[in-house]
Amino acid sequence: MADAIFITHFLLLLISKLCSAERDIALQDQDISLDNENSDLPQPLDHSLGSNVVSQKRFKCFVCEELECPSSNICDDAVTCWKSRVREIDGTEYVSRGCYASEEHKLFLCNKDDSQTEDRKERQARGLLNGVQYSVECCQGDFCNAGPYPVLQDYSTDVDEENYVVKLTFAILGPMIGLTILGGILFCVVAHRTRRKRPIAPRRNKLILDSEIEPSMLHFSFSSPTSSATYHPHELRATAAGDSTLKEYLDGRSLTSGSGSGLPLLVQRTLAKQVTLVECLGNCSSGGFGGEVWRGVWHGENVAVKIYFSRDEAAWARETEVYSQLLPSRHDNILGYIGSDMTSRASCTQLWLVTQYHPLGSLFDHLNRSPHPLTPHQTLNICLSIANGLLYLHTEIHGTRGKPAMAHRNLKSKNILVKTNGGCVIADFALAVTQDRLTADRVDLRQGTKRYMSPEILEQSVNVECLESFRRADIYSLGLILWEVCRRCISNGVALEYAMPYSEWLPSSNQEPSMEEVRKLVLLDQRRPPLPNRWHSDPTLAGMGKLMRECWHGKPAARLPILRVKKTLVKLAANDSRVHLPLD
């Protein structure tokens, strides 16, 4: 009986200690939460990314990475102006001013300041406690991003508070743990004495082996179709492969990946976590680079995700560089770039390139699958939009938001996507080159699609140090694409079935012909795709046939420049009463 009374008094004392400690911790947490409530919180983000804006006021903004911007560095077609300050882990700070030409960019960084986040645990979950601080202020008004840059808060105060909480916790829990251990020892002693006074009953041991666990209790959600684990192709999420190393490819440059092309780099580092893969659209082919193309959902909108594997890291890095650095602004006939990121799935590193999604697919698929032939209006709309996109690539643009001239090097119908309005966009820039790249690196002429290679590339006689040589090779490929499109154009009630270039002599299956086969056909036999006789009775198709022959001429110097190609298409459209296109 005395032992029972002693145990009861001990348990009451232990419970009172626990209640007192919990009350002290609650008061401390309340004081900290009251302090946090006094801080300014970021404004809620505008999630109307998918809304269609009929009219949007444009502003003029400063664009620079200095304390004071020169008056000449401005952008005059902005939706939002911004200024930012970033502090790296070593204390180095960067400041910049710029603008967003698209409404969608306001969703990601505007009014976000990791130094003013209410909950420190939320900052840690967003990866902002790894040493990188940033603050972005956005505004709408002419030159509203002038003035002082945002100020970053020093986290040393938070660290002191954290140390204080840790010390307080140990001060409270230390004695409690000691008392708990002591109580456990006393309980064991009392229980042992009580058990000795009772008859000993046989004990029954129950052993649970790992092999007895049902397989249904284990769940895997890997994305690789070849994995032996359960595969869920309709709802896949990528897990981060640690901190993204995308910064290594763009280190030393601005924190934004181009004023109008792609998301800010800070957002791209977590882009893969926000995208859900829904449907595999097929394998991609970038001149010999393998991979997959998926339709994904990102903030409620469909996006296209091109997945490179680690062996094609150079191609992914090059395409990321072209989109983010060399194509600074949006163009109606260039595939819209959202961002790039690295992820890890099924213990494999994958390299993602996220772009706009076009449900009609590639021009190759559209010409193949469409049950109806193309009208002259649709035909010239497709051809003119491709020419506009290629003209933008081939042309050097000077100025703050300028771009260098470049050649695509892998132009084909599978690398052109069809928009819902009937126009097209050019995609796949893994092989694109500029004059600077030709000077620095040697180009591998074997890369690319053999069927669309120009005679001088097949013969390996092209001047690999001259950009103009590769631009003329693009014109040859363009001529073959125009032939593919015009075959499906209806004239006098007749339209031919789709056929790939040189399908009369080369296999038209998915198997790519060898370079030797194409070289013999194009160089030695001097073959070109045949032009149907019925085109002579249609002025538009007859003019298109003449344009094709000038594009795929055997001598590169005799081929038309892309500007002349566009002007010829504009003239053909203007002279055809069946065509109603906005001609510029």
Q: What is the pLDDT of residues 57-100, one digit of tens each?
A: 888 898 898 878 887 788 888 888 988 888 887 888 888 998 88
pLDDT band at 196 (very low <50, low <70, confident <90, very high): low
Write out the H or E segment, with its range, that includes residue 149. none
- Mean pLDDT (the chain, rounded): 77
Do 521 and 492 fall within a single domain? yes
127-136, 381-390, 408-417, 568-577: which has the minimum mean pLDDT?
Answer: 127-136
Do 364 and 353 fall within a single domain? no
Position 486 pLDDT exceeds 90: yes
Do 326 and 395 fall within a single domain? no
Q: Where are the alpha helices (DSSP H) in 275-426?
A: 313-321, 363-369, 376-394
Position 257 pLDDT exceeds 50: no
Q: Whose CA is closest to 370, among 361, 358, 357?
A: 361
Residue of higher predicted confidence among 27 and 325: 325
Do 346 and 481 fall within a single domain? no
Identify the CATH number of the domain in which residue 64 sits: 2.10.60
109 belongs to a structural domain: yes
Residue of higher predicted confidence among 362 and 46: 362
What local confidence, expressed as pLDDT, does residue 230 receive? 36
Write out the residue range of the structural domain in which residue 319 sits: 271-357
Q: Residue 44's Cα: distance from chain center in Å?
A: 24
Note the pLDDT tens digit of each residue in 141-161. 888 988 888 888 775 555 556
Q: Residue 508's Cα: distance from chain center in Å?
A: 32
Helix (H, G, I), strand (E, B) or coil at 441: coil
What local confidence, expressed as pLDDT, does residue 262 receive? 59
Q: Whose CA is closest to 381, among 486, 311, 456?
A: 486
Q: Whose CA is closest to 323, among 349, 355, 289?
A: 355
Query: 562 and 471 in contact (C-beta within 8 Å)?
Result: yes
First and final CA of the chain: distance in angstroms?
A: 103
**% of the chain surpassing 90 pLDDT:** 43
pLDDT (average), residues 225-252: 39
pLDDT band at 5 (very low <50, low <70, confident <90, very high): very low
Do 276 and 370 fall within a single domain? no
Position 252 pLDDT exceeds 50: no
Note the pLDDT tens digit of each residue in 14-26. 555 555 555 555 5
548 belongs to a structural domain: yes
pLDDT band at 123 (very low <50, low <70, confident <90, very high): very low
pLDDT (average), residues 170-181: 87
256 belongs to a structural domain: no
Distance set, CA 80 to CA 15, 97, 151, 333 (Å): 59, 11, 20, 24
Do 459 and 509 fall within a single domain? yes
Strand order in the sheet with 133-139: 93-100, 80-87, 133-139
What local confidence, expressed as pLDDT, does residue 581 receive? 84
Position 249 pLDDT exceeds 50: no
CA dihedral 240, 245, 250, 255 (to 10 degrees): 50
185 belongs to a structural domain: no
Note the pLDDT tens digit of each residue in 260-293. 455 555 455 578 888 999 999 887 554 445 678 9
End of a domain among 357, 378, 396?
Answer: 357
Do 482 and 564 fall within a single domain? yes
Do 348 and 364 fall within a single domain? no
What local confidence, expressed as pLDDT, does residue 150 receive? 87
Do 292 and 419 fall within a single domain? no
Residue of higher predicted confidence among 17 and 446: 446
41-50, 135-144, 452-461: which has the minimum mean pLDDT?
Answer: 41-50
Q: List residues bridging with 306 in a β-sheet.
A: 293, 353
Residue 43 tokens read as 């404004």
Do 322 and 447 fall within a single domain? no
147 belongs to a structural domain: no
Position 171 pLDDT exceeds 80: yes
63 belongs to a structural domain: yes
Which residues sit in the known binding site for ATP? 306
The region that residue 300 occupies, defined by phi over 0 for left and psi between -120 and 50 for alpha, beta otherwise, is: left
Position 245 pLDDT exceeds 70: no
261 belongs to a structural domain: no
Residue of higher predicted confidence among 17 and 571: 571
Note the pLDDT tens digit of each residue in 307-325. 998 888 989 999 999 998 8
pLDDT band at 460 (very low <50, low <70, confident <90, very high): very high
End of a domain among 357, 381, 398?
Answer: 357
What local confidence, expressed as pLDDT, does residue 537 receive? 94
Do 293 and 321 fall within a single domain? yes
Which residues sit in the known binding site? 306
Identify the CATH number of the domain in which residue 567 sits: 1.10.510.10
End of a domain among 315, 339, 357?
Answer: 357
Do 368 and 484 fall within a single domain? yes
427 belongs to a structural domain: yes
CA dihedral 419, 423, 429, 432 (to 10 degrees): 180
Position 447 pLDDT exceeds 50: yes
- At position 227, the amino acid (one-letter code) is S
Identify the CATH number of the domain in which residue 287 sits: 3.30.200.20
What is the domain count for the chain?
3
User: Mean pLDDT: which of 18-27, 437-446, 560-569 is highest?
Assistant: 560-569
